[in-house]
Structure 1
């Protein structure tokens, strides 16, 4: 099991474990802290990350800014990619296509899914992220291409 998934599985059962894991991710990549993410679920091929609407991520019409939702999609895709990598593999984002589908208000959750990565694989792997509001409506979606390859 890789170190990201191992850390999640060790921390998440404890009362502040999910919060601690989320803070650790933000220490590694500080820009993610702007949206105050909280991981709710993480496994090979699947992640759920929650954010709450707050003034610092508002746009001019009082809803969650489009780029804050891009940031949510990126943290979902990045961490599920790290958690899903077989030993001896690496990844890097290669591109992102997004759609803004509705006004984003309140508590939002990003749901990331990806297929299994084959050891030794080289090429592009899509990660699909849907951002849903509290009513379960998809307000944003993204496809993030990650490039995977064996470590040298």
Structure 2
């Protein structure tokens, strides 16, 4: 696939020069300042590329519900963040990403921290990069520390041209 550059990919590329031990932390802080709610929840970006996004949320007090697990809204935020950045890494700078639909089914109690993995197919990437406007269903898998999938999600992201002026 050809080299692609947009605002998100340029931010991510800047952190490739940061020393390994602090790269992930610094990249997560920068991306969290771009999407404030993700930053507030402390979403950690393990891996971010045009093909796949892997991120985590910790089971800490600020993210917990009344039974000391990751709050339902924080679980949805994790899935939304992973899928949104998967689209965002491929969207031309003159387009605006919009979450069109979020379906989250809570299947079982989550154990500990959570990990989300979102990926686009080559065909989806081509659509996001070339169509003036459209939408794509972005698959995401959310697992907890025990390896279970406490939630199942379907996220549909749309994009439209940014308004000029």
TM-score, normalized by the shorter chain, greater than 0.5: yes
Which residue matches 1:119? 130
1:68 aligns with 2:74: yes
The question of whether the paired residues in 2 share the 8 Å contact of 1:5 and 1:43 is answered with yes
1:10 aligns with 2:21: no
| Displacement after TM superposition at 1:11 (Å) | 0.7
| Displacement after TM superposition at 1:16 (Å) | 1.4
| Displacement after TM superposition at 1:44 (Å) | 1.4
5+ residue gaps, structure 2: none
| Displacement after TM superposition at 1:87 (Å) | 5.2
The question of whether the paired residues in 2 share the 8 Å contact of 1:89 and 1:119 is answered with no
When the two chains are superposed, the root-mean-square deviation of aligned CA atoms in Å is 1.9
Task: Give TM-score scaled by structure 2 length.
Answer: 0.81
Give the stretch that moved more between structures: 79-88 or 69-78.
79-88
1:81 aligns with 2:87: yes
| Displacement after TM superposition at 1:53 (Å) | 0.5
Q: What does 1:120-139 align with in structure 2 at a 5 Å threshold?
A: 120-139=131-150
Partners of 1:36 and 1:52 lie apart in 2 by 8
1:27 aligns with 2:38: no
Aligned length: 152
Which residue matches 1:103? 109
Task: Give TM-score scaled by structure 1 length.
Answer: 0.87
The question of whether the paired residues in 1 share the 8 Å contact of 2:49 and 2:86 is answered with yes
Task: Say which SS state the counterpart of residue 147 (structure 1) adopts.
Answer: strand
| Displacement after TM superposition at 1:10 (Å) | 2.9
Q: Where is the strand percentage greater, Structure 1 or Structure 2?
A: 1
5+ residue gaps, structure 1: none
